[in-house]
Structure 1
Amino acid sequence: MNKETLYKFFEGNTSLKEEEAVKQWLEESEENLQTLFKERKLFDAMLLLGNEKEIRKGKKKFSINLNSLRTELIKIAAVVAITLVGSYFYYESMPDKDLMEMQTISVPAGQRISFTLTDGTNVWLNARTSLTYPVKFGKKNRQVILDGEAYFDVAKDKTKPFVVKTEKYNVEVLGTKFDVDAYSETGEFETTLMSGSVKIASLDDPSEELMLKPDNKVYLQDGKLQVTPVSDYNPYRWKEGLICFKDATFLSIMKDFEKYYGLNILVKNKEVRKFSYTGKFRQTDGIDYALRVLQKDIKFTYQRDDENQIIYIE
């Protein structure tokens, strides 16, 4: 398989004909699948180092040892481009207002990434998510700023609480596993607790706070926090690159596609609103593939306006 075609496939820029050619090539042998994994790791590493364009043009030789990269950054196969932005802020929680170096990681549409913070906390970032954090945590607590969705496996430290700051709420823990969904553009907020305990506190109303127990989630409805039990954890398999649905309405599926792929979907076909769907897709398969699969069970057509990033369901 031509490497240029593989690179286009990793970027999500292949035509339908090229996409089918790649998938057919993968089905031909296990060796082809291993070649894909090898090239993907190389491609990911080049993107992380900012060398991809130069290497593809033959202007640079790629000599990095992949094993020397932080494995946390590439252990999920579908990691693609991330943007690292460094800056300095006064760390507001510290009494001496030390000037601290901050780092921001931004994940593009259709991708995800995992990495480890300096305190040992493991973080997974979903598509179209950014996380700002200090290069080194302060003496009294550990604060990060989230816009989007992230899963945290927090390293325990009784002396320093771990705080996830979102647009409307803070999520505070000592050591636990939880998912926070808080995209600023939607105004929604949701936190699901897998283990341990978390405290949710409003930024606008100090009296509005609650403690969340495992296997429960808190969400925002009509401006108030609501708590409900969680029995199905498949929706949180986005960490594995999967988009999972169970008896989900067509409109809710389209809403998730908007989140994952960074576009608008306008549903003009009223008949599709009657249907629900159970299944899963790989994020890297792309939205065209997902829509074609749905078309096998639900009758609709769609048109893409790539210039304005809109899909019309008709």
Structure 2
Amino acid sequence: MKDKEERKLQFVLRYYTYGKLDTRKALRKMMGEGQSHPSGRRWLYFSGIAAAIFLCIVGYHILWNGKEPHTVCLTAETGVTRYFLPDSTLLILSQGATVSYDADTYGKECRAVSLSGKVYFSVRRNVHAPFLATSNYAQVKVLGTEFEVDESRQDTATRVYVKSGKVVFKARYGKDGIILTKDMCGMLAHGDEMPVVSRPAFPNPSAWATGKFIYRNTPIEEVLKELSLYYGTPLYSSAHYRTITGEFKTDNLEEIIALIEKTLDIKITKKSR
């Protein structure tokens, strides 16, 4: 047994060279240090590019979605004022009324405006982008028509009058509404869920905007009531049974009276208040 161990020791001493066996170097080799890994470097390189692209996309969406809307506000401070929207829709605002819209989104999928007061709309038809007018209490949706929204009175009601075409009139947060067509009027009492169809108080609710009184076989008594309210001057005629058909500009009351008197051969009297 002893002879066998001596032979092994002599073998080691015969072939051993100092410094030939470096255990630290062998350990580093086993752990992979000092070796190049081109595939690993490529993975890190491309993953870095992908991460940068992802951050750019996320940043773009954050900036875009967080961007302040470009709101345009139209007002009528001194009297009746006319404006055209980007799609050539005409707005006529009564004194004190306002209309606002987002210039960045208007006309892309929907033509949405917000309003207060009394506003007349002549909407350019576009079947691909419905027109949506929203007031404090109501909402009107159309494709193309002429209508008026009046929320200027202090009697807690919103009124809509349709001069031509067709509209859907509903409460601002309501699900269902009513359909109004030419010469129809609707009224929504504030707090109610549904508007109701009502009769226009006078033949020309939108004369303030259109600049015209149009009568078709209308009783003279009804005509004089409308003119009295519009101009703030009480008018009277004993020939209240007569009717008239005609079109008059709103510019001059005296001219309207003279034309009616001549056409019907009657006398119209101005009453003092």
Secondary structure of 1:108 counterpart: coil
Q: Which has the higher contact order (CA 8 A, sep 6+)?
A: 1
Closer, same or farther: CA 190–272 of 1 in aligned 2, 3 Å? farther
Match of residue 163 from structure 1: 132
| TM superposition shift of 1:123 | 0.8
Give the Cα–Cα distance (whole angstroms) in 1 for the partners of residues 185 and 245 of structure 2. Answer: 24
Aligned with 1:277 (options 240, 244, 253): 244
Per the normalisation by structure 1, the TM-score is 0.46
Paired AA for residue 117 in structure 2: D
2:261 aligned with 1:295: yes
Q: Percent identity?
A: 11
Tell me the alpha carbon deviations over residues 121-175 of structure 1, each in whole angstroms, 9 at most, x when there is no partner.
42152765844223725477521315335132235374x64222346531123x3
Match of residue 23 from structure 1: none
Query: For 1:1-314, what aligned pairs fall within 5 Å after superposition?
Result: 98=69, 100-105=71-76, 108=79, 113=82, 115-118=83-86, 120-125=87-92, 130-134=97-101, 136=103, 138=105, 142-145=112-115, 147-154=117-124, 156=126, 158=128, 161-166=130-135, 168-173=137-142, 175-182=143-150, 184-185=152-153, 189-192=159-162, 194-195=164-165, 198-203=167-172, 206=174, 209-212=177-180, 215=182, 217-220=184-187, 225-226=196-197, 241-257=211-227, 263-267=231-235, 269=236, 271=238, 273-284=240-251, 286-296=252-262, 297=264, 298-303=266-271
Tell me the alpha carbon deviations over residues 107-132 of structure 1, each in whole angstroms, 9 at most, x when there is no partner.
736xx74x4202x1421527658442
Tell me the alpha carbon deviations over residues 164-204 of structure 1, each in whole angstroms, 9 at most, x when there is no partner.
2346531123x312322526238562332744x5321124x
Give the Cα–Cα distance (whole angstroms) in 2 for the partners of residues 127 and 255 of structure 1. Answer: 21
Give the Cα–Cα distance (whole angstroms) in 2 for the partners of residues 135 and 258 of structure 1. Answer: 40
Give the Cα–Cα distance (whole angstroms) in 2 for the partners of residues 194 and 143 of structure 1. Answer: 20
Residues matched between the structures, number: 195
Asked if 2 retains the 8 angstrom alpha-carbon contact of 1:164 and 1:170, the reply is yes
| TM superposition shift of 1:281 | 1.0
Secondary structure of 2:76 counterpart: strand
| TM superposition shift of 1:302 | 1.0
Give the Cα–Cα distance (whole angstroms) in 2 for the partners of residues 272 and 126 of structure 1. Answer: 36
Give the Cα–Cα distance (whole angstroms) in 1 for the partners of residues 78 and 239 of structure 2. Answer: 31
Asked if 1 retains the 8 angstrom alpha-carbon contact of 2:123 and 2:131, the reply is no
Asked if 2 retains the 8 angstrom alpha-carbon contact of 1:192 and 1:215, the reply is yes
| TM superposition shift of 1:234 | 9.4
Closer, same or farther: CA 126–241 of 1 in aligned 2, 3 Å? farther
Give the Cα–Cα distance (whole angstroms) in 1 for the partners of residues 245 and 94 of structure 2. Answer: 21
| TM superposition shift of 1:235 | 8.5
Paired AA for residue 202 in structure 1: A
Tell me the alpha carbon deviations over residues 210-232 of structure 1, each in whole angstroms, 9 at most, x when there is no partner.
244x657343399952289xxxx
Task: Mark the runs of 5 or more structure 1 residues left unpaired by the alignment.
Answer: 1-93, 304-310
- Please provide the CA RMSD for this pair: 4.4
Give the Cα–Cα distance (whole angstroms) in 1 for the partners of residues 104 and 222 of structure 2. Answer: 38
Paired AA for residue 226 in structure 1: V
Per the normalisation by structure 2, the TM-score is 0.52
Task: Mark the runs of 5 or more structure 2 residues left unpaired by the alignment.
Answer: 1-64
Give the Cα–Cα distance (whole angstroms) in 2 for the partners of residues 154 and 202 of structure 1. Answer: 24
Asked if 2 retains the 8 angstrom alpha-carbon contact of 1:166 and 1:182, the reply is no
Paired AA for residue 217 in structure 1: M
Asked if 1 retains the 8 angstrom alpha-carbon contact of 2:131 and 2:144, the reply is no
Give the Cα–Cα distance (whole angstroms) in 2 for the partners of residues 273 and 129 of structure 1. Answer: 36
Secondary structure of 2:184 counterpart: strand
